[in-house]
Amino acid sequence: MADLRIKIGQLEFRNPVILASGTCGYGSELEDFINLSELGGIIVKGTTLEHREGNPYPRMSETASGMLNAVGLQNKGIDYFEKNIYPHLAEYKTHVIVNVNGNTIEDYVDLSQRINTLSAIPAIELNISCPNVKKGGMIFGTNPASAREVIYAVRRVYDKTLIVKLSPNVTDITEFARISQEEGAEAVSLVNTFLGMAVDVRTMRPKLSTITGGLSGPAIKPVALRMVWQVARAVSIPVIGLGGIMNAEDALEFIMAGATAVQVGTASFINPRAGTEIVGGIEKFLVEKEMDSVSNITGIINRI
Amino acid sequence: MKKRIEDLTVIGNSKLTEGFFVIKVSSSEDLTGIKPGQFVQALVTESPSTFLRRPLSVHDIDPGENTMSLLVQIAGPGTERLSRITPGEKLNLIYPLGNSFTLPARGERVLLAGGGCGMAPLLYLGRKISESGVQPHFALGFRNRSRILSHDEFSALGPVFLATEDGSKGYRGFVTDIPEFRNEHWDRVYCCGPEPMMKAVAALCRKRDIFCEVSLENLMACGLGICLCCVVPTTSGNLCSCTDGPVFNINDLKWQTSG
């Protein structure tokens, strides 16, 4: 048995595998396939103050080794969440984290304050990187001054574990990681999706209703991995790596490049058991290598 | 019935007509809990450009031999690979997914209208309706006589009214041009097919005030309600066609008014 526990700020996780926001619903959708308590945590669907319908269909296009999505933060809003979803989440025996979104800094602050009062939610993931909304989202995550402002404002009202989810659609992602650290975030998660698009040559129309969308899946893994490696060297707070992780080997690459934890996203669409299988695969690897803790390999490529 | 992921064994794969195949798989688990209208998500192997699973309607269930038939239309490399699957191979499926058609009450007159690959769920639905003691009738539309699918299987369950676009068999025109559909009394119409056809059927049913359920074939990534990609606008907002559907009452859909 290897020790898989990891820590983000003061928060201890059973293991370093977390299901990514927008790819695991509210957890219940996957309960026929996996025992959620075997995961480090789950990050539930991107949540906003108000109810949102998201973007029009079509919102998805399969690509080479990946997919584009333009969902646009469809969710029922915090009131519905608190009343109808939270009571069920509070019973899960895994960390349940909420992905927080807004149009304005005030939105992010109000929502973070609301979630701060929910005792069964030990952390939020501040989403300043959604590429599929006209206001907020990636606009905050691609401008250093705006990023600093929103993280600063949320940090003042949110006293539990604050994770900032970074956009890869920038020239230097380490700048945003440093800002997150300076403004008091406990961790950064990266990367959100890459802005991309696809055209249907038969209809001569874009494949997505929004024209552009976010690319995820194995297609982005090498680039995501490079960014995680860069960020892990640039900041001292934990880095949560994600982007195209399909199996334990992919997850181990991120951990060896410096990620304290990983998120599994698009993989769950094809294999709803991907998250728990990755937990098992990481443990098996450590046992085979006769290592007693996952921390033995965190950032190991940087130690030589 | 709980959803499961399972490697099923392919026991048959037969070509129906150009571009259409029926794959038959057997399971070690009981398949009789699958409801008409539900679908599976099939994992496609050895097709490098296919990343996502492919949603396939349950075409039929044979409770005696515990097998499931899946109707596949070749639409790209993924379904092309599936069409070449051979007996003995494993097919990894997530199933059963989605809601189901609501079965009629005894004494009701029901019509199952479909065309092309949209016929897929109607055979199993017809079988279940028949088992419940109601006589199913079928209105099926095809481009021409060489494209007609599974006519014998449908005929074994009830009367079949055919339409072909070129008039080479049955009535000339679309499903909605079939006189029995237009003129006879129907309590319920169930429909699956290309969107223009479903919209035309929905319009006819609204006009005649007939209860009508359609099964949508939206583009889908997960099939589990976690990606929110396959949404359809309804009177209750955007709903996932994979979990809130694929079967919808036409009165709940927004497209039927504009279509």
Which residues 47-86 on chain A approach chain B with CB closer than 8 angstroms?
Answer: 53-54, 56-67, 69, 71, 74
Tell me the per-residue pLDDT of A152-206, one tens digit each, with 9 for 90 and over.
999 999 999 999 999 999 999 999 999 999 999 999 999 999 999 999 999 999 9
- Residue A139 has a pLDDT of 87
Q: If interface means Cβ-Cβ distance under 8 Å, which residues of chain B face chain A?
A: 2-5, 43, 49-53, 94, 218-222, 224-233, 237-238, 243
Does some domain include residue B124?
yes
- Residue B41 has a pLDDT of 98
Shared domain check, B207 and B174? yes
- Residue A132 has a pLDDT of 83
B-chain residues near A21 (CB < 8 A): none
Does some domain include residue B11?
yes
Which residues 93-132 on chain A approach chain B with CB closer than 8 angstroms?
Answer: none
Shared domain check, B167 and B69? no
- Do the Cβ atoms of B229 and A270 come within 8 Å? no
Q: Tell me, what DSSP letter sits at residue B146? A: G
Shared domain check, B225 and B172? yes
Cα dist from B12 to A176, B71, B85, B96, whole Å: 55, 12, 9, 20
- Do the Cβ atoms of A269 and B226 come within 8 Å? yes
Tell me the per-residue pLDDT of A37-79, one tens digit each, with 9 for 90 and over.
999 999 999 999 999 999 999 999 999 999 999 999 999 999 9
Shared domain check, B116 and B91? no
The residue out of B71, B97, B123 marking a domain boundary is B97
Measured between CA atoms, the residue of chain A closest to residue B76 is: A62
3-class SS of residue B107: coil
Percent of chain A residues topping a pLDDT of 90 = 95
Shared domain check, B43 and B131? no
Which residue ranges form the domains of chain A, and what is each CATH number? 6-302 (3.20.20.70)
Catalytic sites of A, residue numbers? 130
**Cβ distance B187 to B211 under 8 Å?**
yes
Question: Any idea which residue has 């979630």 for tokens?
Answer: A115
Does some domain include residue B257?
no
The residue out of B97, B128, B161 marking a domain boundary is B97
CA-atom Rg of chain A in angstroms = 18
Does some domain include residue B103?
no
Shared domain check, B219 and B127? yes
The residue out of B97, B118, B136 marking a domain boundary is B97
Does some domain include residue B57?
yes
What global pTM score does this model have?
0.96
Residue A281 forms contact with B (CB below 8 Å) = no
**Cβ distance B84 to B111 under 8 Å?**
no
Question: Any idea which residue has 């699973």 for tokens?
Answer: B53
Tell me the per-residue pLDDT of A11-43, one tens digit each, with 9 for 90 and over.
999 999 999 999 999 999 999 999 999 999 999
Does some domain include residue B202?
yes
Query: What is the ipTM score, two decimals?
Result: 0.94
Shared domain check, B128 and B44? no
Shared domain check, B182 and B246? yes
Nearest to B226 among A25, A66, A217 (CB): A25
Read off the CATH number of the domain in which B120 is found: 3.40.50.80
Shared domain check, B181 and B85? no
Percent of chain A residues topping a pLDDT of 70 = 100
CA distance A262 to A252: 9
Read off the CATH number of the domain in which B9 is found: 2.40.30.10
- Over chain B (259 residues), the average pLDDT of each successive run of 10 is 96 94 96 97 95 96 96 94 96 98 97 90 97 97 88 94 93 95 96 94 95 95 97 96 97 70
Nearest to B219 among A58, A65, A269 (CB): A58
Nearest to B52 among A57, A269, A272 (CB): A269
- The structural domain count of chain B equals 2
Shared domain check, B119 and B17? no
Residue B41: give the domain boundaries: 4-97
**Cβ distance B159 to B178 under 8 Å?**
no
Does some domain include residue B33?
yes
Residue A21 forms contact with B (CB below 8 Å) = no
- Do the Cβ atoms of B5 and A22 come within 8 Å? no
A-chain residues near B232 (CB < 8 A): 57
Shared domain check, B122 and B71? no
Shared domain check, B243 and B115? yes
Please provide the average confidence, as pLDDT, over all residues in chain A: 96
